[in-house]
Amino acid sequence: MKRHFLAIGAITITTLLAGCDFGDLVGQHQSGKKSENSNTQTEQASNNKNSNSNNGHSSNNNESRGRVEDLTQSQKVALAINDPSVSQYVVNASELRNHSFYANYNGGGQRKSIHTYKLEALPKKVEGAPNDMTFYTAKPSKGSFVTLIGIGNEKVLIAGTQSSGTYQQYAHSEAARELDLHELLDKYGESSNYKNLANQIAFTQSQSSNSSESTSDEGTSNNNASNDDKVTRDNVIDKVEAYEGHQLDTDTYTFKEPEQNEDGDWGFSILDKEGNLEGSYIVTSDGEVTKYDENGEEIE
């Protein structure tokens, strides 16, 4: 009998101990599960935080860089003149910031000061240009040529030229570059501070054509006469003298030998007797004469 009670007691104790161990195991398992869930939630929260941080960083970058569709005309130009491919034809971003640029003319170069880059609208549309593009002449000039800047919704065309032409002629010229604004914004949108630079760029309306319409009858007839025949090396001086209404003053000035460009237009420089540039003439293939001062700016 005593052994029977001892056996029952042993079984009871064993059962209790087993129950205790099983409960502990269940508790430990549930505790581990809670820990895993907690770690997973923490990790997810951390990932979400990092993701939000990255998205915020990207958003801040986009805000600082801007969007092409939000750019003003002056901001588009400010981005374009950052590109080194156009430095020969425009006052570039660094020069404009430093208020100084080097102008290279036929008779030599000189350093000049600049505070505002002025863009004057062309009086008429460039043939073949995109409908959304407006053209301007940039002043001051950086050489013995005219700087044309065409500004569109997504592109900017910059060209150095000594004659009028079509859009395709400008775009395929060695002295021109067609730039994509999306690429410019990616390259220079964050680092160039282009929005501040844009404040140094000013736009003006084209000069009235009344001045050309009010040319004297003699000058008009001379210009008409100069358009009657083909321009050649032999008669280009005659065209200029007809435009001026008198013979060229060879006692005071030296006139360089006329040269023809790839568009068929003729041009030559005017130097004083010390060899300093005084100006230049461009005669188009159809006989139209344009005179420029020593800075490359058109003389009305």
pLDDT digit string, tens, across residues 145-168: 899 999 999 999 999 988 888 999
Of the pLDDT bands very low, low, confident and very high (cuts 50, 70, 90), residue 48 is low
Bridge pairing between strands 201-204 and 117-121: parallel
Give dist(CA 215, CA 281) in Å, integer: 18
pLDDT, position 36? 54
Domain residue limits, the chain? 1-65, 69-204, 210-299
Strand, helix or coil at 280?
strand
113-117, 209-213, 273-277: segment of lowest average pLDDT: 209-213
CB 221 within 8 A of CB 245: no
Question: Which is more confidently placed, 107 or 62?
Answer: 107
pLDDT, position 218? 45
pLDDT, position 72? 94
Cβ count near 151 (within 10 Å): 23
Does the pLDDT at position 209 exceed 80? no
Which DSSP string corresponds to 27-53? HHHHHHHHHHHHHHHHHHHHHHHHHHH
126-146: average pLDDT: 91
Phi-psi category of residue 193: left, alpha or beta, with phi > 0 → left and psi -120 to 50 → alpha: left
pLDDT, position 238? 84
Q: Which two tokens stand for residue 46?
A: 């951390």
Which DSSP string corresponds to 156-222? EEEEEESS---HHHHHTSTTEEEEEHHHHHHHHTTTS-HHHHGGGEEEEPPPPTHHHHT--HHHHHH
Average pLDDT of every residue of the chain:
77
pTM of the model: 0.52
User: May I ask the CATH architecture of the domain 69-204?
Assistant: 2-Layer Sandwich (3.30)
Residue 221: partners with Cβ closer than 8 Å, 6 or more residues away? none
pLDDT digit string, tens, across residues 80-106: 999 999 999 999 999 999 999 988 876
Cβ count near 124 (within 10 Å): 10
pLDDT, position 225? 41
User: CA torsion, points 206, 207, 210, 216, in degrees to nearest 10?
Assistant: -130
